Structure formats: structure tokens, C-alpha cells
Amino acid sequence: MAWTADQPLIALVDVHKSFGKTEVLKGITFSVAKGEVICVIGPSGSGKSTLLRCINALVPIDRGSIKVEGQEVNDPALDKLALRRKVGMVFQQYNLFPHKTALQNVMMAPIQVLKQDRKEVEERAHRLLRKVRLQDKASSYPGELSGGQQQRVAIARSLAMNPDVMLFDEVTAALDPETKKEVLVTIRELAEEGMTCLLVTHEMGFAREVAHRIHFTDGGRIIESGPPEEFFAKAKDPRTRQFLSQIL
């Protein structure tokens, strides 16, 4: 059964995950089509970040199925490295490599993991840094960059692997409003170019603007889903309404 582009790029079915006695995911089911931008929102501690980590096998799941391009992630024989080459991820705390410059951060994985030609990679890395508007920071170390700049380098670093889908884990949560904006603009450009994106976010305005579909999670379950207009205007579930009333 070969995967074709008309099938969901990511398909989660009844995903369960516990840490010790705490069940963080209690049966999550949704899918992401190619080119789609999906936002997952919900109160802190509702398992959103864990959900993203399950998709690229950073966290193993207990029950259920996650398929990325038709390949089962919940499979002991899974080639994790092959999966992670297709799935890019950006973290809340940027997690750039502090001993490498911005350019080196972007170049490292394509050279070492994909074994691509250094010259080619360097050219592409410069292009990616220009894309995130940091071409003049190529030789800066992460410690010399602001939070927003670091996060944009992290996005470029992830893009350098040419992933099929990007996972964003509350990437603006640690930023101040101004730097937040630079990062969100970058992500929106990506989305407009047709990159498949799955975002965990607290940026309601951004979600409303960019997302094709929004999932609201609470207590390890998806409570409500829908396209942004519908979701924000007429949420049905009382918990969703309460959450939105606190945030908006």
C-alpha cells in the first residue's frame, strides 16, 4: 500500500499515552492533509506538546496508530531517523546548538545526516537565512541573538532538511510581543507557500488568520474542531467557550 498525496500526510487514530499513572493523551484522532495548516489549542497541560513529540517518535505511544505518509510510527521496527528526516520540528526554547554559528546550525544536519555536498548546503543555508531575514546574522552565535532571531534560525535549521511537514511547539510562548511577530510572519509565509504545518499555539489571532482547521484539546481529548471562522464564532462546547472567553 503505497502512500499517495491525496491521502492524509499525518493520520492519528485513537492515540493514547501515559506518563506513569497520568494519562496525557486519551484517544486523539485527527488527520493532516498535504498543504494544510492545523492549529492545536487548549489549556496548558492538556498534552499538546506530547502529541507533537509522538508524531516524530521522540515519545513512544502506548496505544493507537500514528501514520506519517502511510508509515506506522507506533511500530518497533520503525526507522526513526527516516521518519524524522521528513518531519521538521521547532521548539518553544529554540534549542539551537550554542557552540555553532547560525549558519553552522542550519548546515549541520543536511551535511551530517543527509550527507549532502557542503557547498550546496551552504548556499541553501544562506538562502534560508535570507528567507527568515537573518542573512546578516549568519556568523553570530545563538548567545548573541535575540529570542525571536534564535527562533527564526531554528525554523531555518529545520527547513534545511526539506521536511514534508513542520511541527511547531508553542514557538512564540517564550517571546515578547514584538519578536513574536517576526516569528509569526515567518511561519505565515511558510504556510502560504504550501508547507504542511501542525502548530501547537496560544496565539488565537494567528490561528484564526492562518489555520485551515483548529482543534481544541482539554484533558487529553479533542473537545472541538472546526475551521477558524466557525470555531471562534460559534463554539458549541461549554469548555471551549470558557477557554476562548478567557483568552480573547
- How far is it, in rounded angstroms, from Cα 12 to Cα 16? 10
Q: Which stretch binds another protein (CB under 8 A): 24-32, 97-105, 124-132, 176-184?
A: 97-105
- Exposure string (b/e) for 98-109, b if CB count within 10 Å is 16 or more? eeebbbbbbbbb
Closer of 143 and 238 to another protein (Cβ) = 143
Cell 484564526 belongs to 208
| Closest CB 85 distance from another protein, rounded Å | 5
Q: Which stretch binds another protein (CB under 8 A): 94-102, 171-179, 193-201, 233-241?
A: 94-102
Residues between 47 and 86 that touch another protein (CB under 8 A): 56, 58, 80-82, 84-85
| Interaction of residue 101 with another protein, rule CB under 8 A | no
| Interaction of residue 115 with another protein, rule CB under 8 A | no
| Interaction of residue 98 with another protein, rule CB under 8 A | yes
| Interaction of residue 112 with another protein, rule CB under 8 A | yes
Residues between 149 and 168 that touch another protein (CB under 8 A): 154, 157-158, 161
| Closest CB 139 distance from another protein, rounded Å | 17
Which of 19, 29, 97, 205 touches another protein (CB under 8 A)? Answer: 97
Question: What are the C-alpha distances in Å from 161 to residues 19, 89, 243?
Answer: 31, 11, 36
Rg (CA), the chain: 18
Instruction: Give the residue among 100, 68, 52, 9 at the shortest CA–CA distance from 215.
Output: 52
| Interaction of residue 113 with another protein, rule CB under 8 A | yes
- CB-hemisphere CA count at 13 Å for 63? 10
> Residues in the site for another protein, rule: CB under 8 A?
56, 58, 80-82, 84-85, 87-89, 91, 93, 95-99, 108-109, 112-113, 143, 154, 157-158, 161
